[in-house]
Amino acid sequence: MHTRPHWSYSSISQYLACPLRYYFQRILCLPQPSIGSGLVLGSAVHAALAHYHQGLKFGRTPSREGIHKAYADNWAGREATQKIAYKDGESAGDLFDLGQTLLELYLEEPPPQQIFAVEQEIISPVHNSRGEYLETPLVAVADLITVSDQGLAVREFKTAARAYSEIEASTSLQPTCYVNAVQEVFGEQATVEYTVLIKTKTPKLQRLQAVRTEQDLGRLGDIVENVERAVQANIFYPVESPLNCSTCPYRSPCREWGRSSPQPERLSLESTAVGAS
């Protein structure tokens, strides 16, 4: 992990979703009393898929047992180090089994061909819509990159409670970060595909393309530039909504914010945890 200040999709999107949560987690570095069960499942599935894809990259097909062991080991590591917050009516056993079912659903698909990279971290410059490169780079971690006659393709894997919509694929900054990284580092225009493992009663698999243009890359730079200015100017405030607040680990300090907590001193970019994943 890079120690110099950098941006990532997770840090940008967190600030856009709730600047105060960004402040608590990435600047004050407050401990999180718990982690959401959905994040635990997603992390374990990603670990298992990485194990599978790494094997394919080097010309071997990992055993089902090895893939599921990678899943179980990641889950056990989370349980050993963090308190997991389960939703009402949700049990650890049922959720663990659901993750295994999602893995089997993907493993029944034809395996990806011509794997270029797995869990590839790419640090790249980013430019604004005026063509000006920003001082702070962008770090993107691609789940899977494959190569074909059409060029490089980035595969992003998600576990979700429902199918993704076309508007989500067309507006998310994550594919834009990938396309920017591949273009800047490898000199190629990449395609991005979501593979969504849907956690419905009967699990399903969804594939969704996300197309990005040069205009999108400039817009990404504009967003990064303005978020950076806001962080340096200490602009932090809560964005209260059922989606944000229901799973937020900082509800208690959030309610105290502005009453008993002093306002932060002016920050330089180097003093912030901009690059935290």
Does the residue 64 lie in any domain? yes
Instruction: Kindly report, residue by residue over 154-200, the tens digit of the pLDDT.
Output: 999 999 999 999 999 999 999 999 999 999 999 998 999 999 999 99
pLDDT of residue 271: 47
Are residues 218 and 184 part of one domain? Answer: yes
Q: Which is nearest to 124 in space by CA: 134, 111, 109?
A: 134
pLDDT of residue 247: 79
pLDDT of residue 263: 56
The pTM of this model reads 0.89
The pair of structure tokens assigned to 262 is 């002093």
Q: Do residues 106 and 137 make contact, with C-beta atoms less than 8 angstroms apart?
A: no
Residues 6+ apart with CB under 8 A from 196: 158, 159, 160, 163, 164, 205, 206, 207, 208
Query: How many angstroms separate the Cα of 206 from the Cα of each of 102, 106, 198?
Result: 12, 10, 7
Are residues 182 and 127 part of one domain? Answer: yes
Does the residue 155 lie in any domain? yes
Q: Do residues 211 and 178 make contact, with C-beta atoms less than 8 angstroms apart?
A: no
- Give the chain's residues under pLDDT 70: 1-3, 260-277
Are residues 172 and 92 part of one domain? Answer: no
Are residues 95 and 122 part of one domain? Answer: no
Give me the residues paired with residue 122 across strands: 140
Does the residue 266 lie in any domain? no
Does the residue 32 lie in any domain? yes
Does the residue 163 lie in any domain? yes
pLDDT of residue 276: 47
Q: What's the one-letter identity of residue 99?
A: G
Does the residue 257 lie in any domain? no
CATH number where 220 lies: 3.40.1350
Q: What range defines the domain where residue 102 resides? A: 18-107
**Residue 138 belongs to what H/E stretch?**
strand 138-148
Q: Indicate the number of domains in the chain.
A: 2
Separation of alpha carbons 117 and 35, rounded Å: 29
Of 107, 123, 138, the position where a domain reaches its end is 107
Are residues 214 and 120 part of one domain? Answer: yes
Q: Residue 236: phi, psi to the nearest 5?
A: -130, 130
Of 224, 239, 267, the position where a domain reaches its end is 224
Q: Do residues 173 and 222 make contact, with C-beta atoms less than 8 angstroms apart?
A: no
Of 107, 138, 164, the position where a domain reaches its end is 107
* Beta strands 151-160 and 138-148, pairing class: antiparallel
Q: Do residues 18 and 245 make contact, with C-beta atoms less than 8 angstroms apart?
A: no
Are residues 127 and 85 part of one domain? Answer: no
Q: Residue 153: phi, psi to the nearest 5?
A: -125, 125
